[in-house]
Amino acid sequence: MIELRDVTKVFPGGTQAVDGITLVVHEGEFCVLLGPSGCGKTTTLKMINRLVPLTSGTITVGGRDIQKLRATELRRRIGYAIQEIGLFPHMTVAQNIATVPRLLGWRKAKRRARVRELLGLLGLTPVDEFLRRYPAELSGGQRQRVGVARALGADPAILLMDEPFGAIDPITRERLQDEFLRIQREIRKTVVFVTHDIHEAIKLGDKIALMKEGRLIQHATPSQLLAQPADDFVRGFVGTDRTLKALRLTSVREIMDSGPLSVRDDDSLAAARRAMDRLERSFLPVVGEDGLFLGWVGRNSVLGPPSVCVGDRITPYAVLGSPDMPLNEALALMLESATGNLPVTDEDRRLVGLVSFDRLFESLRQIYVEREAGEGSP
């Protein structure tokens, strides 16, 4: 746990970078420090590992006042990753990752095992090859992975990250964010993460601390921040499309229809017509005997002699959703497709549910209703 109490930083020369911040980051929580450049978020981060000395206030890490610890010891217990990465160019990937373990005096065998574990965790495979490489022999994305692996080197409980994905191309950045989320679910570190990117903050954070001119403006979960902005600054910062951003926070699984909504390919057209009438739908997904999604049948295509099977009238269909997909992506897929329906399948292409526009609007309305209620209450 990290606790900042009335933390202030005045730089020599009189610039007030941080002004009386009080903030608690709980064990295993992912806290994003968000704000425009110059708002003091990086300074706040660097005060936690004493790269920047604080002017007044107290910071405790794991219940201990950081001023009472030796700076080097404190830092060895806290992982640190920065945008510029700062890999040691004269050391191999393995040596880079083993930096803190070496400072802590771990034995060679233990260091080596840890390096291998981390390379595997961050997807730098084949491990044996990456071990020996030098930073100059890596791509930007790979370097950033090594940077994160190095921060995790000695398995610290706390991780400080200063825009670690800021300098990477958007596609690689998305992928690294996804992977980091996956890793974080596994390792459950207490993370303080600096960014100026609202999308990144919403995607990664359990909590977001929005800062402006050295002050903490709002500290809330991403959905609270979107639903109940504390003031005009927050409203402006999260943007007028906050409803669309909120879609990102809900997964398809939460709103999909998972009832019996499909017909089998060996059903007769008559059975399909009956099913459409019963379910009041003009399109139905078709699955095979094994539950695999095959395509759609529409009301027009099921007209015909009852002896014909549904399987002969299938409209094949390529756009599929997955249960873990956020709603913003699902919406995009639905807009692309003509049917306004998104079949949701598992990894084996087995149909598990269905999302329709109606369903999506309904869930959006719920968010609004909750929001109105939330804004009404104190």
Chain positions contacting another protein, by CB under 8 A: 49, 51, 71-77, 80, 82, 84-92, 99-100, 103, 134-136, 150, 153, 160
- 82 vs 302, which CB is nearer to another protein? 82
**Closest CB 72 distance from another protein, rounded Å:** 5
- 133 vs 215, which CB is nearer to another protein? 133
Q: What is the largest CA-CA distance in the chain?
A: 87
User: H or E segment at 170?
Assistant: helix 170-187
- 43 vs 49, which CB is nearer to another protein? 49
- 78 vs 198, which CB is nearer to another protein? 78
**Closest CB 242 distance from another protein, rounded Å:** 34
* Residue 310 DSSP symbol: G
Full DSSP string of 251-267: BHHHH-B-SS--EETTS
**Closest CB 84 distance from another protein, rounded Å:** 3
**Closest CB 42 distance from another protein, rounded Å:** 11
**Closest CB 374 distance from another protein, rounded Å:** 39
- 67 vs 366, which CB is nearer to another protein? 67
* Residue 265 DSSP symbol: T
| Cα–Cα distance, 83 to 108 (Å, whole number) | 29
**Closest CB 36 distance from another protein, rounded Å:** 22
- 159 vs 256, which CB is nearer to another protein? 159
The alpha-carbon radius of gyration of the chain (Å, integer) is 26
Q: How far is CA 252 from the centre of its chain?
A: 15
3-state secondary structure of 211: strand
Q: How far is CA 280 from CA 39, 272, 277, 293, 313, in A?
A: 54, 12, 5, 21, 20
First to last CA, the chain: 28
Other beta carbons within 10 Å of 169 = 9
